[in-house]
A = this chain, B = another copy of it.
Amino acid sequence: MAQDMTLLWGSGSPPCWRVMIALEEKNLQGYNSKLLSFDKMEHKSQQVLDINPRGQVPSFKHGDLIINESYAACFYLESRFKSQGTKLIPDGAEEQALMFQRTFEGLTLYEKMAAVIFYTYYVPEGERLEAALKRNEEALVAELKLWEGYLEKLGSGSYLAGKSVSMTDVVVFPTVATLFRFGLSAERYPKLGAYYALMKERPSVKASWPPHWLENPKGQDTLKDM
Residues of A participating in the B interface, judged by any CB pair closer than 8 Å: 53-54, 62, 65-73, 75-76, 79-80, 89, 93-94, 96-98, 100-101, 103-105, 107-108, 124, 126-127, 129, 131-132, 146
Contact = CB atoms under 8 A, between A and B. Distances in A.
Contacts of A76: 96-97, 100
A66 B150 CA distance: 14
- Which 9 residue pairs are nearest across A and B when measured between Cβ atoms? A69-B104, A72-B100, A65-B97, A72-B104, A72-B101, A76-B100, A71-B104, A67-B101, A75-B100
A100 B67 contact: yes
Contacts of A66: 97, 101
Contacts of A104: 69-72
17 contacts: A62-B93, A62-B97, A65-B93, A65-B97, A65-B98, A66-B97, A69-B101, A70-B104, A72-B97, A72-B103, A72-B105, A75-B100, A76-B96, A76-B100, A79-B89, A124-B131, A127-B131
A74 to B, nearest CB: 9
A13 to B, nearest CB: 16
Contacts of A62: 93, 97
A77 to B, nearest CB: 10
A127 B132 CA distance: 8
Most buried by B among A76, A80, A94, A97: A97
A68 B101 contact: yes
A132 B129 CA distance: 13
A106 to B, nearest CB: 9
A99 to B, nearest CB: 9
A88 to B, nearest CB: 12
